[in-house]
Structure formats: C-alpha cells, structure tokens
Amino acid sequence: MPASCHPCVAMRVPVVPLSLLLALSLLSPWGCAGGSCPPRCVCASNLLSCSRANMSVVPAPLPRFTAVLDLSHNNVTRLRADWAPARLPHLHALLLSHNGLAFVSTEAFAHVPHLRHLDLSSNRLRTLDENLFSDLGELEVLLLYNNKIATVDRTAFENLGRLRKLYLGQNRIARFPLELLREGTRLPQLALLDLSANQLRAVPAGELQALPAWLRDRLYLHNNPLTCDCLLFQLLDRGRRRHLSAVEDFQDELRCFQPGGTAFVKILELAGKPPLNCSKAREAVLEAHLGDSVTLGCDSRWQGVRGRHWVTPGGERVLGDGGNGSVVLLANGSLQLRALRPEDAGTYSCWVAGPLLNETLYVELLVHNFTLHGPHDTLNTAYTTLVGCILSVVLVLIYLYLTPCRCCCCRGAEKPPAPRDDSINSSVLSTTPNHAGGTGEPCPSHIASGAGTGQNGRFKAGGTPPLPARQGPKAQRKVSDPDSVSSVFSDTPIVV
C-alpha cells in the first residue's frame, strides 16, 4: 500500500506539505481511490504482473485502470465468466500462457471488450466452442499455439473483424479451417495464420493459390503430415519463387507422404520425380485472343502499399487511363487491356512501393492471332482438309460403281439375242445404244419407223421393224434386250 494512504505515515513526514501528498495520491494509479496492488503481484503504473505466483484463481478485485494483466506460469485451470466481476474498460492485453488451462467460458470476455492481445498458449485446451471470442471485437492478436485443440467450431472466431494474427500451431487440428480465409467469410484483416505442426493431411491448394500474396506470405503449413500432391507442390513452388517467408524460411520442414510410401519427402523436391512427376507452374502467364479484354493483377506481398505503376513491353509507363481508352489502371492496382491487338503481347512489369521495401512483378501476355468467337462457318484448317478428303473419296466411289454402262461390249458375247417382241417392257425407243453380241463394236443408232404387232397379237405403236441386212459380220444387231440397263433410263413413253 502506498505510504500516502496511511494516515500515520503522513503525520510522520511533517516536512512534506499535506496538500502535496494529497495531490500525489490522486495522481497515482495505485492511490486510495484507485485500488490496491493484489498480493504476490508486481504493479507498475497500469501494468499488473502476477506471473509465477503459484495462483489457482485470478486475484480479485482488479483495479479498473489495469491495461496489461500478466497471469502466465500459474495454475489457473478454469477461466469462468466471473473472473472479472467488474468491467475493465482499459485492459488491452491478457496473458494466460502456461497455466494448464482446460476450460474457458463463452462469457469469460464479456467485461473486457477492448482487449487487443490475448495469450492462451501452452495450455490444455481441447476445443474452441461456438462464439468463444465473439465479445472481442477489437482483438488483434490471438495466441493459441501449443495446446491440444482438435475441434474448432466454425463460429469460434465470429465478430473478430480486427484480428490480424492467429497462432494455432502445435495442436491436433485435422481439418483446414478454410472459413477463416474464404473471401466474404474470412477475417477481413487477417495477415498471419499459423497452422504448423498439426494433423493436416490435405489443404485446398487451389483456393489457397487464389488468396492475396500478402496473406500467403504468412500462411504457415510446415510440420504437417500432408499427402503429396502436384497442386500443393505448385502452390509452394510459386511461394518460393516469390520469396514468401512461410515457404522460404521452412523449406526443410515442408514435407509430405508419397502415395504408397512410408517416409516423408520434401515437397519442394517433387518436380519430375515419380510417381507424381509434378511439373513446375508458370508464375504469371496469361493467354488471350484478338479483341479480348484482360486484367493483369499486381499481387504484391506487401500490405500498406504506398504506390504502384505499370510499364508496358514497349517501355511506356502507365499511370492512369490510356489515351485511347485501351489501357486502364484500376483502383486496386490492376491493369486492364481492352480490344487486344497483336502488338499488345509481351511482358508487363508492375512496380510496387512497399512500406519498407519495393517489389517488381512481371506478367507475360500471349495474344493469339485469331479471334476466339469468330463466325459460325469458320472451320479449323485441319478439319476442312479432312472433310475435303472424305468427299473426294465418296465422289470417286460413286463414279466407279454407280455410273451406267454406255458401251456395247459391256455384256458377254455368250448371251443370245432376245426376240424382238419378247416383252412390252423393252425399251424400244431408248436413246441408249444396245449392246452388240460379242463384236466389241459400237452399236448403230435406231431408226424408228413403221408399225408392228405387239405381244399377244396386239398392235404396238412405234414398234421396231427388222433393219435391212448389212454386209459383213457386223450386220447382225440386237433389237431389244429386256435386261439392258439402258432401258431403265428411257425417257420415251410406251403406248400400248
């Protein structure tokens, strides 16, 4: 107790004016009006240290003006809702590490709404219950490493809009808490997430790659029994090339199990090795087509960027909207290119002025010399060539097998000539020449004249009379052949 609080002590110091002692007592935080320093604690201004005091409960009462309360290295195994019966409006740091703490009430932080630093590390916590920290809207740093946490409720970190650093390393967490990082649901100010030395066997590498680089720079995944995967390798390989501290500082501790293997291997050494044969991913290469619009991202690993600008492949510096509106610098630092042309291809560089160091990012743009959404009748050259070949073969087959025979020598000589009036279906007026019997000579043209008698004694108009005899072996001529192919193509009607 300060000397000014004891009336006897004040009477023993007559050389000091009473008014001065009264003023000092009012100004001192541990004066009579402010409260007293708890036993076995050390008090300095608004700091209260009760570390290594062999306490099993939080001392009470606590002065209202306490800003930092250190209760580490004690035996406080349960933090009940009434550990702070009165509101502590000035408390911004609470240290409870190394206590064997196994239980924390969901109402334990109702009287400390302005807490910014909470240390619950090196205890025996097993679960993080629903809305456990929802009363700490101003919390910025939360230390939960070196516990036995195996279950994390999805709402345990609700309302922590200002949380910047979350340490969950050296626990028993087997499920990756993606809700902490997913856009729209993640902690908006989170800049560091430590999940090292847990029981994680898989991580959503695709979604983690989409995170900002400044967040991936402080995403610690080392010393987990991860399963080897090429997406995981490419995620970490990109981080190494970007010099992200979470990868570069722990390359030897980033290990995984090969499929069917029994020993750990280094994740960053999976490139080209069986059985996965992972290939290295290209850092920033965009492919586009003529007339497209693309956005080049400037994903810096620094937060609080003071400024940034782009340099085109031609060496031109882009600070704002381009003269013709084809190049636009967006508010988030990205560069938008509209109506792409072949000359827009090349390597673009983004210069970032960080809070401590500068950073340069490179994005390669490939512009294909054709439009992706052309007319519907535009065909690929190879496809057009294949269709043309198929059509040519079909036309040749039609010509060879479906063209009617137009020579007299097509039929064999051994077939006897048919009678003149063997059938009414004979094409007597056909303009197609008939075949000569085994002579190999072209057939002479018909001369239609006279009238004849048809089958069954009926009159047959336009009948073909016998031709006059010719001299020589070529005089014989076949008048009609009912089996002739040419009769099918006759275009003269038959009158019966």
**Greater confidence, 237 or 351?**
237
Instruction: Report, as an integer, the average pLDDT of 399-405.
Output: 72
pLDDT reading at 145 higher than 70: yes
Task: For residues 113-118, give the mean pLDDT.
Answer: 96
CB contact set of 370 (below 8 Å; sequence gap of 6+): 289, 290
Assess if residue 437 is contained within a domain: no
pLDDT digits (tens, 9 = 90+) for 10-31: 334 344 343 433 333 434 444 4
Report pLDDT for 438: 45
Residue 116 exposed, middle or buried by CB count within 10 Å (0-12, 13-18, 19+): middle
Model confidence at 139, in pLDDT bands (50, 70, 90)?
very high
How many structural domains are present in the chain? Answer: 1
Concatenating the DSSP letter of every residue in 10-45 gives: HHT-TTS-HHHHHHHHHHSTTSTTT--PPTT-EEET
Other Cβ atoms within 10 Å of 300 Cβ, number:
23
Question: What pLDDT digit, counting tens, does each position of 212-230 carry?
Answer: 888 888 999 999 999 998 8
- The number of beta carbons lying within 10 Å of the beta carbon of residue 426 is 24
Q: Is residue 302 part of a domain?
A: yes
Instruction: Give mean pLDDT, residues 225-238.
Output: 90
Tokens 């856009």 locate to 183
Q: Which pLDDT does position 473 carry in this prediction? A: 45
pLDDT at site 451 = 43
Asked whether residue 297 carries a pLDDT value surpassing 60, the answer given is yes
Whole-Å CA distances, 7 to 13, 30, 33: 10, 16, 14
Ranked by mean pLDDT, the top range of 78-87, 293-302, 410-419 is: 78-87
What pLDDT is attached to residue 452? 45
Residue 386 pLDDT: 83
Tell me whether residue 160 is in a domain. Answer: no
Residue 373 has pLDDT above 70, yes or no: no
120 in a domain, yes or no?
A: no
- pLDDT tens per residue, range 406-415: 555 555 445 5
Q: State how beta strands 192-194 and 219-220 pair.
A: parallel
Measure CA of the first residue to CA of the last residue in the chain; give whole Å: 144
Full domain range(s) for residue 363: 286-368
What number of other Cβ atoms are within 10 A of residue 477's Cβ? 18
Query: Does residue 293 form part of some domain?
Result: yes
Asked if residue 344 is part of any domain, the answer here is yes
Q: How many CB atoms lie within 10 A of CB 107?
A: 13
Of the spans 24-33, 128-137, 286-295, 344-353, which averages the highest pLDDT? 128-137
Give, as one character, the DSSP assignment of residue 356. S
In this predicted structure, the answer to whether residue 481 has a pLDDT above a threshold of 80 is no
**472 domain residue, yes or no:** no
pLDDT at 381 over 90: no
Tokens 């137009």 correspond to 406
**Residues 46, 20 contacting (CB under 8 angstroms):** no
- The DSSP secondary-structure symbol of 485 reads G
What is the per-residue pLDDT for 328? 84
Say which CATH number the domain at 306 has: 2.60.40.10
CA distance 169 to 49: 26
Is 83 part of any domain? no
pLDDT band at residue 146 using 50, 70 and 90 as cut-offs: very high
